[in-house]
Amino acid sequence: MREGYSILLKLSDVDPFFDKKKILLNDMGFDVKEIVHNKSSLDRDSLSTTLNQMLQIARIIHLDEVELYFGQTGGLGFYSPRNEMEAQNFILSLIKSALSHHVRMQTHALQDLQDALINRIHELGTEVKVENKIDINYQCDKEKCLVQWAQNSGAKTRLQIAYVEGAGRGAIAMEDMEVGDIAMEIPASIIISEDLVYKSDMYQVLEKIDGMSSETMSLLWSMKERHNCNSQFKMYFDTLPENFNTGLSFGVEAIMALDGTLLFEEIMQAKEHLRVQYDELFPALSKGHPDIFPPELYTWEQFLWACELWYSNSMKIMFADGNLKTCLIPVAGFLNHSLHPHIVHYGKIDSTTNSLKFRLSRPCSVGEQCCLSYGNFSGSHLITFYGFLPQGDNPYDVIPLDFEVDQVDTMVECPLSNWTTHMVRGTWLSENQNIFYYGLPSPLLDCLRSARSQMPFTKTLIKANMEVDKEVLEDLQSTFNAMMENLSDVDSVDRESSSWDVKLASQFKEMQRRIVSSILTSCSTGIKLVEHELSKCKAEE
């Protein structure tokens, strides 16, 4: 089409949720391979229509499991801020690719579409922008030395390290940066990976141990390298804290404060797993090879410190040779996590420059903290392995749930039967969403609606449908009433005088109480609505 252009949006054949996403696309009138055709000149309304169409497809393509399970959020028009950013940047990459292949007339139209999309990215960035307060009394001298060391090795950065109140050390923009700008670039030569273990004297010992993973080897290497005064990475290790303050370091009082929460089990299981792993290695390695594994450097406390280091600071990096490795990235480790990150894709070495580039997915203003996404993690996971709860309402704070839907399954094929696990979440989004749907999984609602739509419209069946609704809601209500009873009142904790771990434990428990409370409110309201409709049916009989 010389007088226009075409852009292909394709759902990957290897997507783990291909079948579910295909159904969503088909329901909206799209295919898994959708070609968007446009004229070489579009007015403002046509541009908006084209962009909306492409976004509808891109949103579905980039759904993760939680977003796919719960469906679109009422009133917002999209699944989550993360999903919207992914979709927008996906389309932007397609437009940029098309711009490099089209003739001048087509380029003009593509440029208009790109400008319209960037405006939307700006709008989303403005909505989710968070104001941070910098502690000017914290000098960050060691951190500045590390940045200088990295720059001497070829690193580039448009960020400076500062202490952000409520977040610890963070990376602050030194200038305004746009979508696509590189905020930081780290050469592969200063990335800490398993390759360093292979060059060390401990590798000949560790490679003979059955089940020894490269991640564990790297962890053991860092325990010793931390104390090596001649290490190439001494500057990096000098900036690391003595204590990482993750959930793995919670004391007895904090653990007791978590009783009744999902986090209690997660921390206990994680610590038990690590203790078993440590006991399998030590003191045997130190006794057999004291020169390579000095016992004073390989205590349980040192092992736990190294575990927290790798859990909270490591990144999965795809190297130019195609190998995926768990690495520590000097300087980049100061980038904090956000539910609305500036940087989403950062895990692949650029083969041309042999460096890791942190490219912006949305703008970052001068003085603003530049954040990335550690992953789509729940608050319990972030506390256990990173030591913090994110600011704002986390859509991944879900509660796993087991419930029976046999009655509905007998009516019609139920979407719930396609899921191996079920979950609910609290009222973290829109206030104008019908309270009956707060926290309830989309597959359950779709299942009930699908059952109704495929049945003859009779009063008897309408009544039967509502009785099924009531039973499901009562089961949910019973489950979460029991859960609420196990969550003691958090107001009894004196946060002013409490230790960091007790404060964090109390913060999590309060969050879980809010989620459970909102689900109970939803169930209660739903039951009342159903009972009201049932009473009307009986009155008409």
Note down pLDDT in tens along the chain; length 541 residues.
446 778 999 999 999 999 999 999 999 999 999 998 877 677 788 888 889 999 999 999 999 988 888 776 544 567 888 889 999 999 999 999 888 876 555 677 788 889 999 999 999 888 888 888 888 888 889 999 999 999 999 999 999 999 998 889 999 999 999 999 999 999 999 999 999 999 999 999 999 999 999 999 999 999 999 999 999 999 999 999 999 999 999 999 999 999 889 899 999 999 999 999 999 999 999 999 999 999 999 999 999 999 999 999 999 999 999 999 999 999 999 999 999 999 988 899 999 999 999 999 999 999 999 999 999 999 999 999 999 998 888 889 888 776 555 544 444 445 445 555 667 776 543 333 443 444 455 555 554 444 444 445 456 666 777 787 788 788 888 888 988 988 876 555 566 678 999 999 999 999 999 888 888 888 888 888 888 888 887 777 6
User: Long-range contacts of range 41-44, CB-CB < 8 Å, 24 or more positions apart?
Assistant: 41/108, 41/109, 42/109, 42/112, 42/113
Element (H, E) at 410: none
CA dist 90 → 6, 121, 344, 361 (Å): 15, 12, 11, 10
Q: Which residue has the tokens 């490269």?
A: 214
Query: Please, which contacts does 528-535 make with residues 24 or more away whose CB atoms are closer than 8 Å?
Result: 529/436, 530/466, 530/469, 530/470, 530/473, 531/470, 533/466, 534/463, 534/466, 534/467, 534/470
Q: Domain 4-128 maps to which CATH number in 3.30.70.20, 3.90.1420.10, 3.40.50.2300, 3.30.2130.10? A: 3.90.1420.10
Q: What single-letter amino acid sits at 494?
A: D
Find where tokens 């690495």 sit.
Answer: 327
**Taking the domains of the chain in order of start, what are their residue ranges?**
4-128, 398-540
Distances, alpha carbon 310 to alpha carbons 16, 61, 137, 315, 408, in Å:
27, 31, 29, 9, 46
Whether the ω angle into residue 456 lies within 30 degrees of 0, i.e. cis, is no
Rounded CA separation 180/357 (Å): 11
Q: What's the residue count for the chain?
A: 541
- The number of helices, as runs of H, and strands, as runs of E, in the chain is 19, 12
pTM comes to: 0.87
